A and B are shown apart, each in its own frame.
Chain A
Amino acid sequence: MSNKYTAMHHLLPLLILLLSFLAGSGQTVISGKVKDGKGRPLQGASITIKDTYDGATTDSLGAYHFKTTEKGEQTLLTTSIGYKLQEQKITITGATLHIDVLLKQEPNELTAVTITAGSFEASDTKRTTVLNPIDIVTTASANADITSAIKTLPGAQQVGESEGLFVRGGTAQETKVFIDGTLVNNFFFSSVPDIAQRGRFSPFIFKGTVFSAGGYSALYGQALSSALILESVDLPEQSSASVGVSTVGLNAGFQKLSKKKNASWGVNYGYVNLAAYFAAVKQRPDNFKIPEFHNGEVNFRIKTSKSGMLKFYGYFNFNDLGLRRPDIDSTDLKNAFRLRNFNIYGNLSWKEKLGRKWHLYLGASYSTNTDKIGNELQDQHNVPVIIPFEPYDTKSFNVKSTGELAQIKTVFERRLYGLSAIRFGGEYMYFTDKNDFTNYYTTNGIVKADDHFKAAFAEADLYITNDLAAKIGSRFEQSSLLNKANLVPRLSLAYKVGNKAQASLAYGIFYQKPEKDYYLRGYAFNDLLYTRATHYIANYQKVSKDYTLRIEGFYKKYEHLIKTYGSNNNGIIDSVGNAGFGDAKGIELFWRDRKTLKDVDYWISYSYLDTKRDYLNYPYAIQPNFAATHTASLVVKKFVTKIKTQFNGSYTFATGRPYYNFRYNNSAGKYVIADQGKTISYNNLSFSVNYLPTIGNTKAKKFVVWVFSVNNVLGSDQVFGYNYSYNGLRKDPILPTARRFYFLGCFLSFGVDRSDDVINNNL
């Protein structure tokens, strides 16, 4: 009996437990409201008691209501997309519970404010995308040249006589290009007098482009005006082969993706020969050596882990060209210019996640560039002549210039709370430049300049709230060539002023070492300084999927610009110094609309620029010859599905640029403006058609693109400036090499993945 009693005693709790399971028990009602940080009701938030099925979703007033059979201490969880999970302890006693919940916004890349002052981002990863790689190749006036497409954005000048991006009153040298974080020397093909050269690299090797017209990050330096930051593509979607034929040449390539899709390699070769094109379209200069380009590329990309990626891109180019123009000082003579260029570029980059919060970016690159230039004074029969007096004695020369750059860059990034992060790292660049110069007076005058350039930088992205962010950075640089160091601040702020709108401010100091020429040409100089620019930028932007509106105002102050001094009119410089200065201010507008007109995507950009500078041999601060006051572009694209054809048009207008003839005045002992004027305004209407017969056909084994384009359809007169004769009595306009440029090409790509399968299955 006593045994039985004890047993019952032990079993009692078990029975109660059992009964409670079988019978169920009283339900408790829990209700309340869910609101966001600003007190607005949140619809669609989910509320639940942890580890139970019980819960509800809030209605349009943020109200919820549910019943639960749970008792005692429980955890109430509330979630909603874009908000932080909210956890709170509750005690359920059976009495109705009323619980209001406040959800905090989760910092989110999709909704958070982004720092945009000064920069245009072109990638698909962010919603603030302004231009993407496809946009670049479908911009009518660009002919698939990255910087030509960038020129349709506000901030850049329409300079046709020399390559590069002239941004906000800055020279082309003030814009630097970076690929996967490291500086690229010789991004453009080597200069030819009075003809702008294209960029060397195809837009298809880049997935992202950031064009910063000022106020760029502390991770980059040595560019007074602007940084063009390019990010190379990752693994291809599939293996493929490609072939292209056009009016200017041929190209073929192959990309192989590994079976496991974790590595790929590829090769490309392109050959350009303008013989046929020049025969068909008459050129203004006499091309005695028809331009010929050999272009090779190799790449590999390896996924080193789930989050790691190792990429290599190697480039090789050889080109040869020669052109002859009448000599400006004598109608009996001609100037023949010959250029042979040899260039190798290699870039190795690695990014990896280290632990949960750290990222590592490693980049190394090497480039070597050799230009062999020969300039020859010739008579009417193209026979070399030597005339041993001014100005003819210095017109014939040979120069071999070689430049090498080896660099390594490391960036560590640590994620902080939310989207905040800090980045820091360093870079080391080793520049070696050599000039071997021969003319009437000098034989093999060799000058070398080496620079060990070191930089360290740190930067923090601080998200104070989802709506307010700051980027604070600093950069330290030291050049062995200048034997000087500098330390600069960079600061930007962004504040969200509406659902899709935000305002940003940016400030920064930028240093750039004087161009290598000042060290290589044997000029007398004494202790050159870094040239320096200070940027102030204010920006407003409103972006949605269908449109982008940007308004940006800037002020840029230049100090310590290079001044050159001489005492004659033959262009020979006696000495150089840092007494130059200048400023630039302006306002820019950008509007892109993808929706208003059916299947039409268009953008308009406008730049107003007010700039003056005193540099080189300018007698005082004047508007430089590369700066137009007003520049505007309209770019339109329309895809007609029915005929699988895209039509692209662009129109660019710029007011005339000033031109000057500076002459040395012996009595004043300095240069004065002997003549000046303004060129006619610049007009360029361009048109291109892309026909894609196989688009959307998922069964197609090849993908075909036909491209036809015409630059300057209307044949508008374009004058880029004037060249003056030695005596200053004659001036010749600088004109494009032909009135119009035509291009016709057909590009095929084959997805070889499936044909591989077919072959394997048949074996």
Chain B
Amino acid sequence: MKKIFFALMSLAVVTQGFAQSEKFTKAMTTNIAQFDSAKTADDMLAVSASFERIGDAEKTQWLPYYYASLSEVIYAFMKNDMANNDAFAQKAEQLLNKADAAQPNNSEISVVKAMIATLRMLVNPQQRWQQYGAVIQTEIENAKKQDPTNPRPYYLQGQNLRNTPEQFGGGCATAKPMLEEAIKKFDAFKPASGIAPNWGKSQTQKVLDGCK
């Protein structure tokens, strides 16, 4: 009798655990699909909130907060309301800090850190260039060191160079090799799982196409 008890008990526990992780993966997959297909800033904000809900419920997972922060950053870029970037950046930073605590020294998180610094810089580039320019650079370098196979720091650096005036050492000429390097890395990149970060290739291609 005791055997049946334990058998059922363990079945229950396993099923529960399995159901939980399946539920997590399923929710993440759905959200990532929405993230990939978000067309408007408002869609992106809804995706961010949705990821945050998963993060708050799971607590130990870094990916939900990572995506929540990333989509908050992209939301801010889509919204293009520079004066309020500090508020969006602050929210994205709070989310990313939780991801960072669960998964320190992660290359993908460093990429988002660089993106948040970019948001803050854009509030007033003339005054903030020195402060946040240095942060962007450091975080991109960190991301490359933490995972040399990660194509996203290369994409980010290429995009930044593309947006820098030629007189300041930017423009297509310097951006192109960086973007091509990124594409090569994207081709070779194998995400750790179905829900691990795997975005950016099409964006890179788009920036690269704009340079032809």
In the complex, A11 Cα to B23 Cα: how many Å?
Answer: 26
Check B91 against A642 for contact (C-beta < 8 Å). Answer: no
Contact of A7 among B4, B46, B128, B131 (CB under 8 A): B4
* B residues near A246, Cβ cutoff 8 Å: none
Chain B nearest CB, measured from A61 CB (Å): 12
B78-116 interface with A by 8 A CB criterion: 82-84, 86-88, 91
Check B127 against A51 for contact (C-beta < 8 Å). Answer: no
Check A48 against B53 for contact (C-beta < 8 Å). Answer: yes
* Interface bits B26-57 vs A (CB < 8 Å: 1, else 0): 01000000000000001001100110111011
A90 interfacial by beta-carbon distance below 8 Å: no
A44 interfacial by beta-carbon distance below 8 Å: yes
A714 interfacial by beta-carbon distance below 8 Å: no
B196 interfacial by beta-carbon distance below 8 Å: no
Check A3 against B1 for contact (C-beta < 8 Å). Answer: yes
* A residues near B21, Cβ cutoff 8 Å: none
Check B167 against A696 for contact (C-beta < 8 Å). Answer: yes
Interface centre among A127, A641, A698 (most CB of B within 10 A): A698
Check A81 against B91 for contact (C-beta < 8 Å). Answer: yes
Contact of B86 among A7, A22, A110 (CB under 8 A): A110
Chain B nearest CB, measured from A367 CB (Å): 31
* Interface bits A28-70 vs B (CB < 8 Å: 1, else 0): 0000000000000001101010111111110110000000000
* B residues near A134, Cβ cutoff 8 Å: 126-127
Check B54 against A641 for contact (C-beta < 8 Å). Answer: no
Contact of A545 among B4, B82, B167 (CB under 8 A): B82
Check A644 against B167 for contact (C-beta < 8 Å). Answer: yes
Give chain A's interface secondary structure class: loop
Check A81 against B87 for contact (C-beta < 8 Å). Answer: yes
With A57-B49, A134-B127 as contacts: A15 and B87 at CB distance below 8 Å: no
In the complex, A71 Cα to B11 Cα: how many Å?
Answer: 24
* Interface bits A737-755 vs B (CB < 8 Å: 1, else 0): 0000000000000000000
Check B5 against A11 for contact (C-beta < 8 Å). Answer: yes
Check B8 against A14 for contact (C-beta < 8 Å). Answer: yes
Check B169 against A43 for contact (C-beta < 8 Å). Answer: no
In the complex, A51 Cα to B131 Cα: how many Å?
Answer: 38
How many A-B contacts are there with CB distance less than 8 Å?
A: 103
Total interface residues on A, CB under 8 Å, equals 47
With A7-B4, A17-B12, A545-B124 as contacts: A44 and B169 at CB distance below 8 Å: no
A205 interfacial by beta-carbon distance below 8 Å: no
Q: Which residue of A lies closest to B87 (CB)?
A: A81
Check A641 against B165 for contact (C-beta < 8 Å). Answer: yes
B130 interfacial by beta-carbon distance below 8 Å: yes
In the complex, A124 Cα to B120 Cα: how many Å?
Answer: 12
* A residues near B123, Cβ cutoff 8 Å: 545
B197 interfacial by beta-carbon distance below 8 Å: no
A674 interfacial by beta-carbon distance below 8 Å: no
Check B1 against A4 for contact (C-beta < 8 Å). Answer: yes
Check A132 against B127 for contact (C-beta < 8 Å). Answer: yes
A18 interfacial by beta-carbon distance below 8 Å: yes
* A residues near B46, Cβ cutoff 8 Å: 44, 56-57
In the complex, A696 Cα to B121 Cα: how many Å?
Answer: 14
A695 interfacial by beta-carbon distance below 8 Å: yes
Check A55 against B53 for contact (C-beta < 8 Å). Answer: yes
Interface residues of B (CB under 8 A from A): 1, 4-5, 8-9, 11-12, 15-16, 19, 23, 27, 42, 45-46, 49-50, 52-54, 56-57, 82-84, 86-88, 91, 123-124, 126-128, 130-131, 133-134, 137, 164-165, 167-170
9 intermolecular pairs with C-beta atoms under 8 Å apart: A7-B4, A7-B5, A18-B8, A44-B45, A52-B57, A53-B27, A545-B124, A642-B167, A644-B168
